[in-house]
Amino acid sequence: MQIALVLGLLLVAVIMFATEKMSVDAVTLILVIILTLTGILTLEEAFSGFSSDFIVILASVFIISGALQDTGILDSLSSQLVRLRTRSSSVLLVIVMGFSGTVSAFMNNTTVTALFLGPLTSLCRQLSISPSKMLMPMAFASILGGTCTVIGTSTNVAVSSYIAREGMAPVGLFELLPIGLMLFGVGMVYMLTIGKWLLPNHPATSLTEQYAVREYLTEIRVNDNSPMVGQFVYESDLSKLNFTILRVIRDTRNILPRANTLIEAGDVMLVKGKIDELVKVKETEGIDIKADLLASDLQNEEIKLAEIIITPRSPLINCTVKQAHFLQKYGLKVLAIHRNRSYLREKIGDISLVLGDVLLVQGTAERIEGGQATNDFAILGQFTPVLYKKRRGFITIGVFLLAILLNMFVKVPLAISFLAAAMVVVVVNKMSAEKAYHLVDWRLLILIGGMSAFGIAMEKTGASSFVANWIVGLLQSFGVLAILSGFVLLTVVLTQPMSNAAAALVVLPVAMEVAGQLQVNPRPFAIAIMLAASVSLITPFEPSCILVYGPGKYRFKDFLQTGSLLTLIMMIIIVLMVPVIWKL
């Protein structure tokens, strides 16, 4: 009965993760509550994952990485891309992949992708290279670079903690380096050869054409007898007809409307709305509809258009444009939203924003650059590095390196050395406690802690043994390598609906049980599952891939045709090389 309950909960969790009807951390906590209330887990077991040292390691890495970003030293490094003048796409690809892969060995790959996104798209436009030829390889490199160290991804840290709890030695900081360099090197060669020809070449288009804003623009003049005179812009009769007032031309002034802007007689308003609604507008008393405007009129010397992308840990995630008070906070008007190859232009204020959304905004150049300085979003097609705090940046890097050296040579536990480094970084950078806590991805920590408890439940109820017996019975006649291949494939498949860390922690208890039944070393199984969770490049569901999906104008099939073969190659390398490096 308990086995059926645990496996049933796992199925529900996979469905909930895939449909995203509820946040992953909420789903995880509900699982922990149910397992505790049903008596499957004790209170100590339910929260053991949250008290593990890997929570401290991950939180510390988040703080150190955030401090590096705030000092501007990483912006300074990534800005070197903009200065490149090579016309060779192959040379540029090597530089971009090498740079992002190296940095992601020590930082979260999603953060690295977000960091390089602005300067790389800017460089592509300067060199007349399609961003679709560069952004996907950069995202892949950041993912594969994370396989080189135990802190390269949260999955590596979580798996290391799990096997330590099972009585094995935790994964060393650079223990993964040989296989990680192999995966990263093969990935780079693939993207320079086969992948280069499989990547799409989406031509660059103007922003207004790309978002189809032009179809929705017209100019309306407010006459002296118009009932709209004295009405607030966003409460006017036009707004009630689902038109958005983008700009007000009053005398010789261009006014970007705000909530308290009143309509005056003689105003000429640039409005956006459905073409079929123009009939209703024509019947409105006291206004004249002028000729449709060209898209270029959306920009002038004062007012500009820009694309911005919602980045990780942005406070805009899961907020609507209205809830975020976007215009009041940033001084920018949202004209359209791009998501998953579709352009959202209607009722924009009510759309809940998600990671990777690309927004077409209008505002002054000063406002656009000021918004980027908040780190709430990144601007595509242009790059303005944050203020470079050189001294603090080098101190932060030095403290980070010292923590690594203390772990390697003095054998200071990784959790202690990184925690100490994070505390020094907070003091050196004069970071408030609120800022430090904001840098930590608590949803990820809750997910990993909760799924660790779920792994305990699988072991305790015998669910892992049940599944292990079935797998052994199915594949034992084909040998140990075939069983290892099955676990690698299962992990890759599960990372599509689930997060990488969650997939690894679900498969791991079963793999450990199988290794015990086969009387082989369980460490290669754990390492293979850890790596398999990080090399699934088939779909754009990985956060790094989500970030480049919109800016690269990719389609789902672009990832499928480019990433499927690469993922298969990565899986073959893992199955063949892991048992060589970690003996079965």
Q: Looking at the 3D structure of the chain, how many domains does it have?
A: 1
Angle at 434 between CA 432 and CA 435, to 5 degrees: 65
Report the half-sphere exposure of 158 (CA within 13 A, side-chain side).
32
pTM (2 d.p.): 0.78
Which is more confidently placed, 218 or 11?
11
State residue 546 phi and psi, 5-degree precision.
-60, -40
For residue 304, pLDDT over 90 is answered with no
Considering the domain boundaries, does residue 141 fall inside one? Answer: yes
Considering the domain boundaries, does residue 312 fall inside one? Answer: no
Considering the domain boundaries, does residue 173 fall inside one? Answer: yes
Please answer whether residues 358 and 338 qualify as being in contact, where contact means their C-beta atoms are separated by less than 8 angstroms. yes
Instruction: Indicate the SS3 state at residue 528.
Output: helix
What pLDDT band is residue 568 in, cutting at 50, 70 and 90? very high
Q: Which residue, 82, 23, 7, 19, is CA-closest to 441?
A: 23
- What whole-number distance in Å separates Cα of residue 368 and Cα of residue 363? 6
What pLDDT band is residue 61 in, cutting at 50, 70 and 90? confident
Instruction: Indicate the SS3 state at residue 199.
Output: coil
- What whole-number distance in Å separates Cα of residue 87 and Cα of residue 92? 8
Count, in order, helices (H) and strands (E) of the chain.
26, 10
Reported as a single tens digit per residue, the pLDDT across 106-155 is 888 888 888 788 778 877 877 778 888 899 999 999 999 999 999 888 88
Considering the domain boundaries, does residue 16 fall inside one? Answer: yes
Instruction: Indicate the SS3 state at residue 333.
Output: strand
- What whole-number distance in Å separates Cα of residue 326 and Cα of residue 362? 12
Considering the domain boundaries, does residue 343 fall inside one? Answer: no
**519 Cβ partners below 8 Å, 6+ apart?**
none
Domain region containing 417:
2-203+399-581
Please give the average per-residue pLDDT across 456-474, as a whole number.
84
Query: Exposed, middle or buried, 151 (CB in 10 Å: 0-12/13-18/19+)?
Result: buried
